[in-house]
Structure 1
């Protein structure tokens, strides 16, 4: 009984301390909540990504080339694509094809849908028009996804090559590279989305 009372007192003390901190530093507290929830969403993506990759990896979509939005050339003269998923498995020297693209995008879509609601309801406690907020969220998501995909051309291939070939880690290296590229994507989204959320989740009453 005494242990239960002690635990309850500790819990109340923590809640009270957080309430005081939140009152004194509302923006910092909001960012911390955003940070914690975003990391939870990142973990979810790291769980989902291998699942979808494995599912699509057993389909003919791996052999379906998906290289779109050409924007210039790489240093070696080859075309530079925003979405660069050449046909063939990554272990065989390909880019994962349409299968890898779908695995990434479905994982991110599920994560961002969940992220939209938890950030709106928990972090920002927004009462703004949900449809208007959702519209601008989708617009931001598309723009950020295109930007993040374009940046992948700078680090994706080197990371996979380093882990799979240079360090000769094979399939283990491929899995680690999957996680690293996913974390980089999440990091980009994290820093870009926070100021966007501050705008789209702003209550109409605050205007």
Structure 2
């Protein structure tokens, strides 16, 4: 008898959760119908922030793992953009050796940690935003092509901006938190700056490349390789 009562109580709890889920879905559906563009931006912001958290966790792990290898002794210094005397300023500046007080160095180990983290984050963001936020039903290959171009341009632009702010950020964080902890905090700050830049730029990019066409027109749209602004989701 007690066993029957337990099962019955569990059934009631399950029914209550199901009703809450259905009520939540219905509430969101009504919100979408009334405020389509706002709902779309809320979803975009949710996934972008969730993926930023993943990146903030992943990058220090990869940096630590790669930092234990000989990759740290392989320099990655590309795209010189200026200099003073014998000192050359590179857009991508990862000199051989461990990261110094200005946030420079780290070699190929640090470069891979940053780029792999960004790449994984952008792949996750691409599919989440395409399938859930914008509900695009046009060619995924065309969207991926334009997304890749945007990703390369944004990566280069973000690297150029780092030339201006990276050293001051690392210096400030180490003054506040000490050398070891300060470098870790500075890593997080620079990742947040990169994520913020990507957040706003990619929202505009997604509005263009993630189109949704009426049912039955998907084949025609998939053959159109010139992205145009997507229509508002619901208004």
TM-score by length of 2: 0.80
Question: 1:33 corresponds to which residue?
Answer: 43
Question: 1:10 corresponds to which residue?
Answer: 20
1:54 aligned onto 2:64: yes
Query: When the two structures are aligned, how many residues end up with a matched partner?
Result: 205
The structure with the largest helix share of the pair is 1
Residues 91 and 171, structure 1, Cα contact 8 Å, conserved in 2: no
Write out aligned runs for 1:164-183 (5 A).
164=174, 166-167=175-176, 169-183=178-192
Give the 3-state SS of the residue equivalent to 1:186 in structure 2: helix
Residues 130 and 210, structure 2, Cα contact 8 Å, conserved in 1: yes
- Rg (Cα) greater in structure: 2
Q: Deviations over 1:97-152 (max 9, x none)?
A: 22111110011111111111111111111111011111111110000000011111
Q: Deviations over 1:57-81 (max 9, x none)?
A: 012221222221111247x994332
Give the 3-state SS of the residue equivalent to 1:84 in structure 2: strand
Question: 1:141 corresponds to which residue?
Answer: 151
**CA–CA distance in 2 between the matches of 1:104 and 1:82?**
14
Question: 2:120 corresponds to which residue?
Answer: 110
Of residues 131-140 and 195-204 in structure 1, the stretch that sits farther from structure 2 once superposed is 195-204
Q: Alignment RMSD, CA only? A: 2.2
- CA separation of 1:29 and 1:77: change in aligned 2, threshold 3 A: farther
- Runs of 5+ consecutive residues of structure 2 not aligned to the other structure: 1-8, 222-227, 229-235
Q: Which runs of at least 4 in structure 1 moved beyond 6 Å after TM superposition? A: none
Of residues 94-103 and 76-85 in structure 1, the stretch that sits farther from structure 2 once superposed is 76-85
Question: Which structure carries more relative contact order (alpha carbon 8 Å, separation 6+)?
Answer: 2
TM-score by length of 1: 0.90
How much has 1:5 moved relative to structure 2? 4.1
- Runs of 5+ consecutive residues of structure 1 not aligned to the other structure: none
